[in-house]
Chain A
Amino acid sequence: MSKRKPYERKMGATWWLKNTFHTKYIIREGSSLVIAIYSFVLLFGLFRLSQGAEAFNGWLAAMSQPGWVVFHILSLAWTLYHSITWFSLAPKAANIWLGQKRVPDSWIVSGMYGALAVISLAGLILVLI
């Protein structure tokens, strides 16, 4: 650790509620919590899959319990909020040129929504066929 002692302004635990920009920022960062939990839920499902049909069906049954359904509704909404913020930032991270002209931000954002639609549809088709 560094020996320097930088000045730290004291901020209460609710600093992020005092300004809409900060509130939205913390809500976006908060999506990490549910996405991480969801990843481990899926990882556990994969582990149960590796243990055989009975174990896997036990995991599936657990997923239909009300608590997990509520968790997944919350996670879906929160993850979509992450998607929206990610898409709106995408043009700032990408610097794409077509000849002499920079690709307009709106094209990149629309492209991301298009990709979300195509991937979601492909996922549904994959599980239904």
Chain B
Amino acid sequence: MKRSNEPVFWGMFGAGGMVAALFTPIAILITGLLVPMGIIPGEQFSYERLLAFSQHWLGAAVIWVVISLPLWLCMHRLYHTLHDFGIHAGNLVKALFYGVAFAGSIACATLLLLGLV
């Protein structure tokens, strides 16, 4: 019998679930509400500050984790929810769903690495 690739995806799902549970609420609050509504002054979230943050290795790591890992949680859950609604998708659809998470992770890493060099 072929070995299942499920543990790999499940590991990314677990890591993503943890990041989404612990980091995403404050990220949404800051980038989606407090800054756009002007409660946090614009200069605290300015282009210069954000660029400097993204060009520091630690800042880049934080941005990558917050953007990429939750995608693995979401695409895993959305793929399995298809089944709950009677869509028994095959490997092509599975590749498509995890491919979105993979592509997002790589795109994010590429943008950050281009800034770091």
Contacts and interface: CB of A to CB of B under 8 A. Distances in A.
Interface residues of A, number: 53
Nearest to A121: B26
A49 B54 contact: yes
Nearest to B68: A39
A75 B28 contact: yes
A72 B77 CA distance: 21
| B interface SS class | helix
A36 B16 CA distance: 11
B74 A35 contact: yes
Given A38-B28, A128-B44, A32 B78 contact: yes
B95 interface: no
A120 B33 CA distance: 14
A119 B85 CA distance: 36
| A interface SS class | helix
Contact of A68 (B36, B78, B86, B107): B36
B63 interface: yes
Contacts of A79: 20, 24-25, 28
15 contacts: A29-B77, A35-B20, A35-B73, A39-B74, A46-B54, A46-B108, A50-B114, A52-B47, A63-B31, A72-B33, A76-B25, A76-B32, A93-B14, A119-B22, A128-B40
Closest 3 CB pairs of A and B: A72-B32, A36-B74, A64-B36
